[in-house]
Structure 1
Amino acid sequence: MSLQETTTDTSGMTEKLPAVLWNEGEVTHICDTAAREEEIVLYLNGREYLHIVASPNMLLEFGAGYFTAAGIAEKILSVRIDDKNVFVEADLFPGAGPREGFAPAEKKGHVVSELLITPEEIFAVRKAMDVDVWRQTGGLHCAALWHDHKIIAVSSDIGRHNAVDKLIGFMTLQGIPPGECVLGCTGRQPKGMVMKAVNAGIPVIVGRTAVTYPGAMLAKEEGVTLIGFTRENRFTVYSHPERIAGFPAEEPENGKGTENNGELLLSGWQYDKGSVKPAVDVVVLEDTVTLYLNGEKYLDNTATLESLEELGAGFFIAAGITKKIRSVKVRDADIFVEADEVAEVCGKMESAGGFCPRESAVNVEGGITISPEEIFTVREQINTEEWDKTGALHCAVLYYQGEVVYSANDIGRHNAVDKVIGYMTLHRLPAGKCVLGCTGRMPHGMVSKAANAGIPVIVSRAATTSTGAALAERSGITLICFTRPPRFTVYSHPERIVGLGYEKGI
């Protein structure tokens, strides 16, 4: 299968990809629509600051919003674009120096606002995020900005962080008072996402999906009304309900407690078809881990505090930094990795908030074959109970010799995959005989992880991007996405799948 016939649509946000659809035993050649991603270079006050993967639109707004949301720029002076280079001039907060690795946003304020909105306006924000490009690709996040009782801007991007940054930039460049705005987002709301609204001064976040416990606590502390699980007729408010008409003024209890099974709980107020009642949700706890390589600090990373030895080993293998791990030691949230043949990696940030790996120059080999039944077995194992309970944990699994031998959960899909690759590495399983399963999307950076690890087959529950599919093709990886029994879509190297008719070559 070749991707040479790929074409770009007029908006520049999507591309058409040739693919093979399996549906209840029938094989159909299709032309699928996938999201595009580009490498964007951000400059701050004349100096190169960061390479970041993003959808190539609203770049002026992205530049202004990125530095505002990150707590770096106190005032944006100007933004200009030259191709995929974004040049931002800004007055900076004191101490906002050069970037060191993958740095999260830093808090630069507290939100004070007398804004009052209605449940109907919350649902209007939710509806504005139902954009065609999401339905077409399944791979683009969306954000919406509300002001003066109406939606004034909508953005889409391969990453939820970027989509929000674009709207914060729109608000900043247009001079719109942030205290009068509501920010909607399709993605989850961990602490780093809530921090963007805090730094921008936006008092209300409308999320379509889950929040995390640290995200909710930050919202409580810094004056943000945090709304999650916004559906057609209901939503849950976790902090500062006084801004919503008809809600009690009392703040929900912190709700941090455990049941017999040790689950973390968060209290809120739930609106459901006109009624308001107390609610308690199971949520995720995230934390910061620090990775050290050969005795030196390498990276701070937001992760779920489990399987940290596997995370340490897998991170450096998946990033293309080393091919051989000598040892991994964990001390609290510090992970110390010793490795051979260390390669330099330019500090990049994947669009969904993870470290962007090197691209492997080696073609992945693996004579394994996999049947549709085995593909659905992998899919079943990544449909985890933890995701169903919280809506916030990604899962990845390792399939080897006819069974799933390991699974990992994490707030980030990058980390979940790194943990699986780390398990494979530490247990010395032959990569060429393994299959990687993942709940998350498969852009270029995620496919690179499998390529660097030498895994020949990826099974994803979600979408790919055009560059993710192209990398899988040239790296020799069989990329299977939208795996939803009884169907799945194959974007590259279908010869490894029994029953598609490609077993003897393309």
Structure 2
Amino acid sequence: MHRKSCPEEYPITLIVNGYEVAVFQLTNQDLEDWAYGYLFSEGLIEHRNDIQSLKVDSDFGAIRVVLESEMDAEKMLTKKKHYTAGCGRGVTFFSMTDVKNFTKVQSKKTYKLSYLLKMRAEFAKNSPLYLETGGMHGACIVNESGDMVIREDIGRHNAVDKVIGHAVRQGLNPKNLILLTTGRVSYEMLSKAAKFGFSMIGSRTAATKQAIQLAKYLNIELVGYLRGKMAIVYTSKGRVIDDVTDQTGTQPNLRVLP
């Protein structure tokens, strides 16, 4: 396949109530969604109305946010930062211990494996930046009607922040939403999904041991290697129904880890 261009990334400074949080490497698209998603994921806002104003300042490579309430910036900025792995390096203020205090998911909704694979395939076909460059990550939320919202970025965690930001801005309920991602699910990716309340997370690739442990603890179903007619279910919450296993029984498509 011939790619027409290379992926791009830009240093963007996030400034909240006049305080510089950090400089992030981001794809210059859907930055408002990213800011809402990042601030929500880090616990700085709980609702869309917690932001008084948000301005993307392209000339200075900055996103300037004013919150409705005074942020304890000194407390936040002196908290230990955890730098994320992979492309489009990011930063989170949540440790694994912090994430374990998140609310556990209670959903009992189930999904057929064929449906998850279908949604993953549709997601791949509707990711224009990846199709253009071959070097982008994507994240996607799927509602109970099968409608999709897709966001792309150089960083896998940034893409997840973007779809969460969209959901926060639209006031979406996580109860019946699926989160799909192209990237590896590490603990900080799991924490973002857990903070919003997703009960089902699917990835085209793997999950880390720490992410699997957190998913089990928080009652989140975590599925990896969603591709073709296969998947690995890392958790055992009973939300994935295998309806595509090889009829011969010799090559199971669904692998459930203990």
CA distance in 1, matches of 2:221, 2:70: 28
Identify the residue that residue 63 of structure 2 maps to in structure 1: 335
Spell out the pairing of 1:385-396 with structure 2 (5 A cutoff).
385-396=128-139
- Runs of 4+ aligned structure 1 residues displaced above 6 Å come to none
Matched, 1:367 2:108: yes
Matched, 1:354 2:90: yes
Q: 1:363 to 1:280 in 2, by over 3 A?
A: closer
Spell out the pairing of 1:484-499 with structure 2 (5 A cutoff).
484-499=227-242
Question: Which one is further off, 316-325 or 341-350?
Answer: 341-350
Identity rate, percent: 26
| 5+ long unaligned stretches in structure 2 | 244-257
CA distance in 1, matches of 2:44, 2:186: 19
Over residues 459-500 of structure 1, what are the superposed CA-to-partner deviations in whole Å (9 max), with x where a residue is unaligned?
100111111111111011110100012111111143122348
CA distance in 1, matches of 2:23, 2:203: 27
Spell out the pairing of 1:90-101 with structure 2 (5 A cutoff).
none
User: Who wins on radius of gyration, i.e. which is larger?
Assistant: 1
Q: 1:389 to 1:349 in 2, by over 3 A?
A: same
- Aligned to 1:282, what secondary structure does the other structure show? coil
CA RMSD of aligned residues (A): 2.4
**Normalising by the residue count of structure 2, what TM-score does the alignment of the two structures yield?**
0.78
Asked whether the equivalents of residues 378 and 459 of structure 1 are also in contact (C-alpha less than 8 Å), the reply is no
Asked whether the equivalents of residues 311 and 419 of structure 1 are also in contact (C-alpha less than 8 Å), the reply is yes
| 5+ long unaligned stretches in structure 1 | 1-278, 501-505
CA distance in 2, matches of 1:351, 1:461: 17
- Aligned to 1:283, what secondary structure does the other structure show? coil
Once the 2 structures are TM-superposed, how far is the Cα of residue 312 of structure 1 from its aligned partner? 0.4
CA distance in 2, matches of 1:381, 1:300: 33
CA distance in 1, matches of 2:226, 2:6: 26
Once the 2 structures are TM-superposed, how far is the Cα of residue 339 of structure 1 from its aligned partner? 6.0
Query: Pick from 24, 27, 37: which aligns with 1:314?
Result: 37
Asked whether the equivalents of residues 140 and 163 of structure 2 are also in contact (C-alpha less than 8 Å), the reply is yes
CA distance in 1, matches of 2:171, 2:152: 21
Asked whether the equivalents of residues 290 and 300 of structure 1 are also in contact (C-alpha less than 8 Å), the reply is yes
- Aligned to 1:331, what secondary structure does the other structure show? strand
Query: Pick from 174, 177, 180: which aligns with 1:434?
Result: 177
CA distance in 2, matches of 1:339, 1:351: 32
Q: Which one has more relative contact order, counting CA pairs under 8 Å at least 6 apart?
A: 2
- Aligned to 1:291, what secondary structure does the other structure show? strand
**Normalising by the residue count of structure 1, what TM-score does the alignment of the two structures yield?**
0.41
**Paired AA for residue 90 in structure 2:** G
Q: 1:280 to 1:465 in 2, by over 3 A?
A: closer
CA distance in 2, matches of 1:376, 1:339: 41
Over residues 300-329 of structure 1, what are the superposed CA-to-partner deviations in whole Å (9 max), with x where a residue is unaligned?
111011111100000012234442342252
Asked whether the equivalents of residues 324 and 339 of structure 1 are also in contact (C-alpha less than 8 Å), the reply is no
More strand as a share of residues: 1
Asked whether the equivalents of residues 17 and 71 of structure 2 are also in contact (C-alpha less than 8 Å), the reply is no
